[in-house]
């Protein structure tokens, strides 16, 4: 009997040693906190990242030891704090943040941070949380270099492509050049391909900038009702040219509170966005709606609630298979079917849309029924009328000053 006890304690000690070795030697930082946010365990890698000694940090409030900023160096709002968040919700959270060493000395690390709950075996009660830090600074730098290369390259290539396109247009112009019918056919094809190439470089440039956080962005207060109506009017022609109807609605559902009736009082939906950037998003979604719709109608709509402004672009086109939807907003993703094979595209449009919407802490998604049509939705935080007026006054002062 006593032999078994020794054996068991030996095994236990062994397990403990193994855990110890794991914690000591792993290069990811690990911090365990209790339900009050006090540090109950941290490994040397974590201590080194924060610039603390292991013994020193034990028992101290995690927010005093782990100083975080958003990835771009901006302050982290209290509700974004991953430690406060997990103690409040008990839900795992992932983020990429900047980690500042004690006293602000040394390099800032960009870390990917995963905070998971520690639950009682039955999973009913939160005992604390475990945070794993991985330094991704080097990987991020590499990404920046790559994006930089792509944006320089596509910028350089746009110039000669524009020249080729210009000369092809000249060759196709009766007043300056004489060519026979066969040559004209070939040149028209070449001209179309060059235009496509130009668009591809433009999209590559935009998406490299978007990945790098270098998209020009001057947000102002925008009232979405007026803004979307103007955009719709600007786009109407392109839809009607293909024989598609074009409509704009404000309200909760299709056709409800139609603006054209002119009598209903529609709420003012204020947002804080760069109108040029958002126009790119809407134009992109609209161009897709036209491209992938043979007949019927395109509706641009606007609804919202207290906190959110929601607008959508709906078409009666061929729709998107459910299997493709999760990948749609990734770079270069195109649905592979007979339509997309004949209709040109770069597969970058929706990726760029997502990146722009994310600048404004918004969300973009699609609902679609194959054969019936698709609706692309965008949610953007709504500004209260009061906040909008405040910001507008500040904007005017900037212009005058
Ligand atoms: P592309 O340049 O190919 O249009 P996007 O990123 O804009 O690239 O769109 C990705 C793919 O999503 C398209 O290739 C198309 O298959 C699909 N898609 C986008 N919008 C629609 C739509 N309104 N209706 C049907 N399919 C769509």
Average confidence score pLDDT of the chain? 89
**206 within ligand 1 shell (Cβ under 6 A):** no
What average pLDDT does this structure show over 213-229?
Answer: 92
Q: How high is the pLDDT of residue 264?
A: 62
Question: In this predicted structure, which of 74-88, 106-120, 259-273, 344-358 has the lowest mean pLDDT?
Answer: 259-273
Global pTM value? 0.71
Decide the pairing of beta strands 126-135 and 109-119.
Answer: antiparallel
**289 within ligand 1 shell (Cβ under 6 A):** yes
CA 198 to chain centre: 24
Residue 263 has pLDDT above 70, yes or no: no
Instruction: Tell me the pLDDT band of 399, cut-offs 50, 70 and 90.
Output: low
362 CB contacts (<8 Å, ≥6 apart)?
378, 379, 380, 381
Instruction: Tell me the pLDDT band of 103, cut-offs 50, 70 and 90.
Output: confident
- Model pLDDT for residues 275-305, shown as the tens digit of each residue: 999 999 999 999 999 999 999 999 999 999 9
More confident residue, 252 or 242: 242
- Model pLDDT for residues 164-190, shown as the tens digit of each residue: 999 999 999 999 999 999 999 999 999
Cα(289) to centroid of ligand 1, in Å? 8
Q: H/E element holding 267? A: none
Q: How high is the pLDDT of residue 214?
A: 80
Q: How high is the pLDDT of residue 288?
A: 95
Cα(288) to centroid of ligand 1, in Å? 6
Q: How high is the pLDDT of residue 29?
A: 94
> CA–CA separation, 401 vs 352, rounded Å?
34
Residue 239 has pLDDT above 70, yes or no: yes
b (16+ CB within 10 A) / e for 241-276: eeebebbbbbbeeeeebbbeeeeeeebebbbbbbee
Q: How high is the pLDDT of residue 252?
A: 55
Instruction: Tell me the pLDDT band of 106, cut-offs 50, 70 and 90.
Output: low
129 CB contacts (<8 Å, ≥6 apart)?
32, 33, 83, 86, 87, 115, 116, 117, 118
* Percentage of the chain lying above the pLDDT 90 cut: 62
What average pLDDT does this structure show over 112-118?
Answer: 94
**285 within ligand 1 shell (Cβ under 6 A):** no
CA 48 to chain centre: 32
**292 within ligand 1 shell (Cβ under 6 A):** yes
Q: How high is the pLDDT of residue 254?
A: 43
Decide the pairing of beta strands 245-250 and 297-304.
Answer: parallel
Instruction: Tell me the pLDDT band of 255, cut-offs 50, 70 and 90.
Output: very low
Instruction: Tell me the pLDDT band of 63, cut-offs 50, 70 and 90.
Output: very high
Residue 58 has pLDDT above 90, yes or no: yes
Instruction: Tell me the pLDDT band of 253, cut-offs 50, 70 and 90.
Output: very low
- Model pLDDT for residues 336-366, shown as the tens digit of each residue: 877 777 777 888 999 999 999 999 999 999 9
Q: How high is the pLDDT of residue 210?
A: 86
Identify how many contiguous H helices and E strands the chain contains and give both numbers: 12, 13
Map tokens 């000591």 to a residue. Answer: 24
Q: Residue of the nearest CA to atom 16 in ligand 1?
A: 335
**374 within ligand 1 shell (Cβ under 6 A):** yes
Q: Which of 204, 292, 317 to mutate to test the pocket of ligand 1 (most atoms within 8 A of CB)?
A: 292
Q: How high is the pLDDT of residue 293?
A: 95
Q: How high is the pLDDT of residue 66?
A: 93
What average pLDDT does this structure show over 111-122?
Answer: 92
């Amino acid at each position: 009997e006593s032999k078994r006890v020794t054996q068991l304690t030996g095994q236990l000690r062994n397990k403990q040693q193994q855990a110890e070795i794991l914690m000591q030697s792993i290069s990811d930082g690990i911090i365990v906190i209790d339900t009050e946010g006090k540090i109950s365990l941290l490994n040397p890698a974590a201590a080194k990242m924060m610039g603390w000694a292991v013994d020193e940090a034990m028992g101290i409030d995690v927010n005093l030891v782990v100083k975080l900023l958003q990835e771009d160096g901006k302050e982290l709002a209290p509700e974004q704090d991953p430690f406060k968040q997990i103690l409040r919700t008990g839900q795992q959270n992932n983020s990429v943040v900047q980690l500042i060493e004690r006293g602000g000395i040394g390099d800032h690390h960009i870390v990917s941070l995963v905070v998971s709950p520690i639950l009682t075996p039955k999973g009913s009660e939160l005992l604390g949380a475990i945070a794993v830090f991985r330094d991704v600074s080097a990987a991020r730098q590499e990404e920046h270099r790559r994006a930089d290369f792509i944006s320089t390259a596509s910028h350089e290539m746009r110039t000669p492509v524009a020249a080729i396109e210009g000369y092809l247009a000249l060759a196709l112009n009766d007043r300056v050049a004489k060519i026979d019918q066969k040559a004209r056919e070939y040149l028209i094809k070449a001209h179309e391909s060059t235009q496509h190439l130009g668009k591809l470089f433009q999209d590559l440039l935009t998406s490299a900038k978007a990945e790098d956080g270098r998209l020009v962005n001057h947000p102002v207060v925008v009232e979405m009702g007026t803004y979307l109506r103007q955009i719709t009017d600007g786009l109407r022609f392109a839809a009607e040219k293909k024989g598609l109807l074009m409509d704009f609605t404000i309200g909760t559902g299709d056709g409800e509170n139609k603006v054209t009736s002119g009598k209903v009082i529609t709420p003012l939906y204020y947002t804080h966005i760069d109108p040029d950037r958002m126009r790119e998003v809407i134009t992109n979604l609209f161009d897709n709606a036209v491209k992938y719709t043979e007949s019927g109608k395109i509706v641009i709509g606007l609804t919202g609630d207290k906190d959110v402004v929601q607008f959508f672009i709906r078409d009666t086109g061929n729709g998107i298979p459910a299997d493709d939807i999760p990948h749609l907003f990734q770079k270069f993703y195109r649905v592979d079917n007979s339509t997309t094979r004949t209709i040109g595209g770069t597969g970058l449009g929706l990726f760029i849309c997502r990146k722009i919407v994310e600048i404004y802490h918004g969300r973009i998604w699609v609902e679609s029924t194959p054969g019936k049509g698709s609706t692309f939705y965008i949610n953007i935080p709504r500004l209260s009328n009061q906040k909008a007026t405040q910001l507008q006054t500040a904007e005017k002062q900037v212009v005058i000053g």
